Amino acid sequence: MKLKNRIAITRRGYRMLGKYCPGLIRGKVIIAVLEALAPLVTVWFSARIINEIEGNRDTGTLILLVLLAVGINFAFSLIRNAMSRVVSEKESKMWNSFTKIFSDKQMNMRYADLEDQEIQKQRQKVQENLFMFGNGLGQLVWDTPSLVKVIVGIAASVALTASLFTAGTGNILLDSRLWIIAAAGLMILSGLINSRLRKKEDEFFKRWTDGTVWFNRAFMFYGHALYAETTRAKDVRLYRQDRIADREMRKMNEMNLNDRETGRMSACEGGMELIRGICNALCYLYVVAKASLGAFAVGSVVQYVGALMELVKSFSDLFFILSENRVYTGHLEKLFEYLDLPDAKHQGGLPVSGTEHTIEFRNVFFRYPGSETDVLQNVNFTLRAGRKQALVGANGAGKTTFVKLLCRLYDPTEGQILLDGRDIREYDYDDYMKLFSFVFQDFKLFAFSLGENIAAGENYDAAKAEECIRKAALYDRYREMPDGLETCLYRDLSEKGVEISGGEAQKIALARALYKGSPVIVLDEPTAALDPIAEAQVYAGFSSMVEDRTAVYISHRLSSCQFCDEITVFDKGRIVQQGTHAELLENPAGKYRELWDAQAQYYIEQ
Ligand SMILES: Nc1ncnc2c1ncn2[C@@H]1O[C@H](COP(=O)(O)OP(=O)(O)OP(=O)(O)O)[C@@H](O)[C@H]1O
């Protein structure tokens, strides 16, 4: 990657850290400056003290030097400790903030992309790299202090060693200014070799992580998800799927996880240490040679050796950091590629006013991303204000997909959906969404209080929530709940949380839709999990529940669709019939009749 791009990516990384982890980088920089200066302050004062002892031995000067050395170091460590507490607190929360980066993206990205396998893989890889190895943003956080230390270290060490090269010994060879070039050359050379070794090490690391992505995913699945997630644990126990998991885990444990790559990485590390050692030895030799010829006092040996070692280390670190920068900008680039995936574009700005609306599907075709077939084909459908519409059809006929298009999770591949004659994309997205309350088949409740679940927010109107609970036939269960609306659902976040059955959850989802009070209510199999009495209660109360709102009602229980004004029959992605229950039954060759007969025979026979 070009340097210009690396700089741009690094800057973007810092901006992102500034947004999600405010104050973290600033704190790290301050600590790093203090840490870089502290040893050099000690070296400088030690040299002055030894020289004073060797020379004038002035007690006042000695006391002053010692007090200054101790005082400055004490002040440094006070500030550093105070800052460290704040910074480590921020750093411990850094991972939560990184999680937020992904949740923000997932919340805003196109829904279709959320389901896209390739994009899921892309996200998984970026997340694994970040959360398992700290690659990208983590490295940027950790490398920033090193970079600051290197810059401060090089500047201070150069200042402390400058007089080493000018101090004369009388020996032409040792006094030659060429030593400056030689020293600089040596530092740069060692840094470059280190950098190359680091690059190699990174290549091996990449190969190693590529090989482990699948391993980690499978390991988490077989070792954790299968047993820990209650959605799966039931079936795992009943069908003893743990035996398959054990077999797979055994196979994985026997796998050779790129041992060759880890061996090569260690060899690179060893090579880097060796180069640093050789440079240190050469510096020692030069300083000691000059000191032994009387170029400077013994105390200065401490200063020069200390500063030269710091310089060698700083140069080596500098090249290391530069090569690290190449590595983490590579990871950051991948992160940004993911974050730059187009967000859902809700560009329309038309306000939606009033409550009586007509929604029309006009020649709508839809195909899921990555799929080869149209799931909806030439769908034409009009939903008038206040009408109760039932959608029926066999599994996979396209009913839920129709609703997903209605609520703008996807856009039609062809055709248009119109609200009062205008394409729904022209309207303000939030305004449009306020028109609907949905209950999906795979609705989700959250481990918050019952009231918050129903109101989908922290502040709720208790009387209204209770009214919706009553309409959703949940009142008896609600009265048993220990803390009423404050009762926490599930035990994920609260020990006092209550576990609820599938049917009770469905009633809560229904109450949530009623609470929203939108002019259009869309119910996708809202009673599938309800017992016959609760189902009858819901149907009996359907009119009062839905009132004069527009309703779209999907159900496989055809008898329950009779109270709708119109029934629309889907078959293989097409609308094949529309009419009232009685009208549709009249057509003996119709799909509705076929579905009805298939379902009714069991009731008739009994
Ligand atoms: N995310 C998806 N990606 C690809 N295909 C999908 C996706 N979701 C649904 N499908 C396919 O679209 C078709 C219609 O599914 P849809 O869920 O709309 O049917 P449905 O009529 O609601 O069925 P059911 O009565 O079983 O709920 C099915 O063949 C299904 O496999």
Residue 598 to residue 592: CA distance in whole angstroms: 10
| Cα-to-centroid distance, 573 and ligand 1 (Å) | 9
Kindly report the protein residue whose alpha carbon is nearest to atom 5 of ligand 1.
368
pLDDT value at residue 606: 45
The protein residue whose alpha carbon is closest to atom 25 in ligand 1 is 395
Cα 167 versus chain centre, distance: 57
Q: What is the distance between the terminal CA atoms of the chain, rounded to a whole angstrom? A: 74
Give me the DSSP letters along 343-366.
BP-----BPP-SS---EEEEEEEE
pLDDT digit string, tens, across residues 31-50: 999 998 888 888 889 888 98
Nearest C-alpha to atom 31 of ligand 1 is from which residue? Answer: 396
CATH second-level architecture of 3-202+272-339?
A: Up-down Bundle (1.20)
- pLDDT > 60? residue 140: yes
CA distance 418 to 361: 6
Question: Does ipTM come in above 0.85?
Answer: yes
Q: Is the pLDDT of residue 92 over 70?
A: yes
Q: Nearest C-alpha to atom 26 of ligand 1 is from which residue?
A: 395
Rounded CA-CA distance 151/310 in Å is 11
Q: Which residues line ligand 1 (CB under 6 A)?
A: 115, 368, 371, 375, 393, 395-401
Q: 395 alpha carbon to ligand 1 midpoint, in Å? A: 8
* Secondary structure string (H, E, C) spanning 375-431: CEEEEEEEECCCCEEEEEECCCCCHHHHHHHHCCCCCCCEEEEEECCEEHHHECHHH
What number does the ligand 1 atom closest to the CA of 441 have? Answer: 27
Pocket test for ligand 1, best of 110, 361, 367, 375 (most atoms within 8 A of CB): 375
Average pLDDT, the chain: 86
Residue range(s) in the chain whose domain bears CATH number 1.20.1560: 3-202+272-339
CA of 576 to the centre of ligand 1 (A): 17
What are the tokens at 415?
């055709």
User: 46-73, pLDDT tens digit by residue?
Assistant: 888 988 888 888 999 999 999 999 999 9
Residue nearest to atom 13 of ligand 1 (CA): 396
Lowest mean pLDDT among 223-237, 320-334, 413-427: 223-237
Residue spans of beta strands (DSSP E) within 453-500: none
Average pLDDT over residues 211-225: 71
Q: Where in the chain is the domain with CATH 3.40.50.300?
A: 359-605
* C-alpha 110 – ligand 1 centre gap (Å): 18
Of 391, 399, 404, nearest to 560 by C-alpha is 391
pLDDT tens-digit readout, 300-354: 888 888 888 888 888 888 888 888 888 889 999 999 999 999 887 777 889 988 7
Calculate how far, in angstroms, residue 57's C-alpha sits from the geometric centre of ligand 1. 90
Tell me, what DSSP letter sits at residue 560?
Answer: G
Residue nearest to atom 3 of ligand 1 (CA): 368
Q: How remote is the CA of residue 357 from the centroid of ligand 1, in Å?
A: 27
How is domain 359-605 classified at the CATH fold level? Rossmann fold (3.40.50)
Buried b (16+ CB within 10 A) or exposed e, 419-431: bbeeebbebebee
Please give the distance, rounded to the nearest whole angstrom, from the Cα atom of residue 368 to the centre of ligand 1.
9
Nearest residue (by CA) to ligand 1, atom 4, is 368
